[in-house]
Amino acid sequence: MIGTARSPAAGSVAPATRRYRVIYNPNAGAKRRLPTDPDVSDRLRDALGRHRLAADLVATEDEHEAVGAVREAIGSGIDVVVAGGGDGTVGTVANELIGSSACLAILPMGTVMNVARSLGIPRDLDEAVAALARSRAVEIDVGEVAGHPFYENASVGLAAAMFREADHCGRPGWLSILRTIWVAIRYRPARITVHLDDGAVRTRALMVAVANGPYTGVGMTVAPDARLDDGRFDVRVFRGFSRWELLRHLGAIAFGRHRYAPSVSTYHSARVRVTSARPLPARADRLDLGTTPVEFVVRPRALRVLVPGPVATLRER
């Protein structure tokens, strides 16, 4: 478990005197860029310059380089390590900052950006840089499973099976879509036991979501009331759906939309263990966890992040 004694805290440093280092993926957002668009380095320098925000820029080509760059920033006493890229880059940087005195900040440059959406960070790069200079520091929870942190959502059952198949297909395309749909068609509800802090839930269900924040996948609002600093997961059990009803529901809540779902039961717990009558696939963010049984635990307020203002996903606003 992470200790809470961290001094001096980046959040105690005045915004005007913070030392920033931007660790970014030069290939971020490549799928959405046109050939005539400026490259990532130029976009970052232009945005930082417009808002007179002094920051070191470090381009990293892979996860190993990014990890080394974050560790060097922490060792150099950098106050704020800025992750410039998609959710993968954010997760890599955040993993190294857990328990440190440095803050995580995000410049969203990827496709989905679930963590940035949860923290109220603007998707537009120029607006995100403008917000960075006036942001305040908060502490958020981090999920953990089998020693691995996660920030968005873990799932057991149908959603995990679909995401696993999509990963196996490699690059997205019609084949990936068709194979993922085929997995959904063949999937059957299973007998699941969800062990919580105050008891156990035994049921037949298509899917269980263990949510640290509201969003997962392509911005699906799987846990609209989840709070990032309450020390508990929102545990959502999808048991009153047919397969097609669940797929329609997941489509309806994509890209940040929210649809009321009376067939979903919600529980709250700091520790969640899921067992099942047959092995079921499990994931946490983009990490394949194999199959049940699987156990998740909250690390309360383990990560300092910068947010631009009041955020609906935080109890302390």
Whether pLDDT at 50 is above 90 = yes
Residues 272 and 187 in one domain: yes
Asked whether residue 219 is assigned to any structural domain, the reply reads yes
Whether pLDDT at 32 is above 60 = no
Q: From CA 204, how far away is CA 144, in angstroms rounded?
A: 25
Asked whether residue 159 is assigned to any structural domain, the reply reads yes
Asked whether residue 2 is assigned to any structural domain, the reply reads no
Asked whether residue 316 is assigned to any structural domain, the reply reads no
The percentage of the chain sitting over the pLDDT mark of 70, rounded to a whole number, equals 77
Asked whether residue 314 is assigned to any structural domain, the reply reads no
pLDDT digits (tens, 9 = 90+) for 203-214: 999 889 999 999
Residues 230 and 295 in one domain: yes
Residues 98 and 195 in one domain: no
* Number of domains forming the structure of the chain: 2
Of the given ranges (141-145, 173-177, 218-222, 226-230), which has the lowest mean pLDDT? 173-177
Task: Write b or e for each residue in 146-162: b if 16 or more Cβ atoms lie within 10 A of its Cβ, otherwise e.
Answer: eeebbbbbbbbbbbbbb
Asked whether residue 317 is assigned to any structural domain, the reply reads no
Residues 286 and 206 in one domain: yes
Chain centre to alpha carbon of residue 204:
27
pLDDT digits (tens, 9 = 90+) for 57-111: 999 989 999 999 999 999 999 999 999 999 999 999 999 999 999 999 999 998 8
CATH number of the CATH domain containing 128: 3.40.50.10330
- Whole-structure pTM value: 0.85
Residues 161 and 229 in one domain: yes
CATH number of the CATH domain containing 216: 2.60.200.40
What's the confidence (pLDDT) of residue 6?
47
User: What is the extent of the structural domain holding 87?
Assistant: 10-142+301-307
Q: From CA 86, how far away is CA 89, in angstroms rounded?
A: 5
Residues 55 and 81 in one domain: yes
Q: Which residue has the tokens 């062990």?
A: 195
Asked whether residue 36 is assigned to any structural domain, the reply reads yes
Q: From CA 150, how far away is CA 296, in angstroms rounded?
A: 10
Whether pLDDT at 114 is above 50 = yes
Residues 122 and 54 in one domain: yes
Asked whether residue 175 is assigned to any structural domain, the reply reads yes
Burial class (CB in 10 A: 0-12, 13-18, 19+), 108: buried
Residues 156 and 61 in one domain: no
Residues 133 and 260 in one domain: no
Residues 179 and 245 in one domain: yes
Residues 136 and 153 in one domain: no
Stretch 39-43: mean pLDDT, rounded?
87
- Banded model confidence at residue 161, pLDDT cuts 50, 70, 90: confident
What's the confidence (pLDDT) of residue 133?
85
Whether pLDDT at 118 is above 50 = yes
Residues 120 and 159 in one domain: no
